[in-house]
Amino acid sequence: MNLALFDLDNTLLAGDSDFEWGQFLIEQNALDRELHEVRNLEFYEQYKAGTLDIHEFLNFQLKPLARHPRSQLDAWRREFMIKKIQPLIAPGAYKLIEKHQLDGDLCIIITATNRFVTAPIAQALGIDNLIATEPEQKNGEFTGQVSGIPCFRERKITRLENWLDEHNLTWLSFLQSWFYSDSLNDLPLLAKVTHPVAVDPDETLRNHAEKNDWPIISLRQEPASDFHANEASAVLKISGR
């Protein structure tokens, strides 16, 4: 059995779901634009620069979940999926996922973005397994706090290994492993797998990938079938498939 790991934001999506959720709540007048938008942008720039304090960010990002009843949040999320997320799904994402699924690989989305935002996205992409930052809940409502270990940078490895242990698996369970990501923040996990792949990467990751001869691909190209035939085969040829 082989393992295929996928980052979500700016990898399978041509954008950042965490950032877009904040912007969406502003549009619903659920957040003050003047106060929230500037801070949201600041955190996004810190993430891209690799300087994000994940606990500071989560304190900011999860608080809105505690200010509204779950029923309202669920209704907003359904609208968010249609208006914001569906247009962001990268054209080549489905073909890449399908390739690994047809090969019988264990497919997992692993993301720093919280599960409330990302669970329906994983479902839309056809991936059953999701490792995400967990927002704390009490009696079905969000508290605004994080539960457990945030799924970010080195902690992605910890969260993944905990997930594998819960499913009676280890790294040794897999002959080969892939991780697809766009971000310098994922360098620790990219270095852990047998086949790291940079997807529409930021400058730091691109430079690192070029230096280490890692494949660099784009999932944002049309048509998706061309990606499957050309770029996907280029990525997978290193496995001897």
Q: Could you tell me the residue range of the domain that residue 43 belongs to?
A: 3-239
| Whole-number Å distance between alpha carbons of 224 and 190 | 24
Average pLDDT, rounded, for the chain:
91
| Whole-number Å distance between alpha carbons of 143 and 151 | 18
Q: What is the mean pLDDT of residues 84-103?
A: 97
Alpha-carbon dihedral angle through residues 137, 18, 149, 208, given to the nearest 10 degrees: 170
pLDDT at 133 over 70: yes
| Whole-number Å distance between alpha carbons of 88 and 128 | 20
pLDDT at 226: 42
pTM of the model: 0.90
pLDDT at 230: 43
Catalytic residue among 7, 16, 186, 200: 7
* Residue 229: band (very low, low, confident or very high) from pLDDT cuts 50, 70, 90: very low
pLDDT at 37: 82
Question: Which residue in 216, 178, 34, 155 sits closest to 101, CA to CA?
Answer: 178
pLDDT at 32: 86
In this predicted model, which residue has the larger pLDDT, 93 or 53?
Answer: 93
pLDDT at 235: 46
32 is catalytic: no
Q: What is the mean pLDDT of residues 12-16?
A: 97
pLDDT at 190: 98
Contacts (Cβ under 8 Å, ≥6 apart) of 135:
62, 65, 114, 115, 116, 142, 143, 144, 145, 146, 147
Enter the DSSP assignment of 13: B
pLDDT at 189: 98
Q: What is the mean pLDDT of residues 228-235?
A: 43
74 is catalytic: no
pLDDT at 94: 97
pLDDT at 223: 43
pLDDT at 222: 60
Number of domains in the chain: 1
pLDDT at 43: 86
pLDDT in tens, 17-73: 999 999 999 999 998 888 788 888 888 888 888 888 888 888 888 998 999 999 999
Give the whole-number percent of the chain exceeding pLDDT 70: 92
Q: Residue 83 is part of a domain; what is its CATH number?
A: 3.40.50.1000
59-68, 139-148, 166-175, 204-213: which range is least confident on average? Answer: 59-68
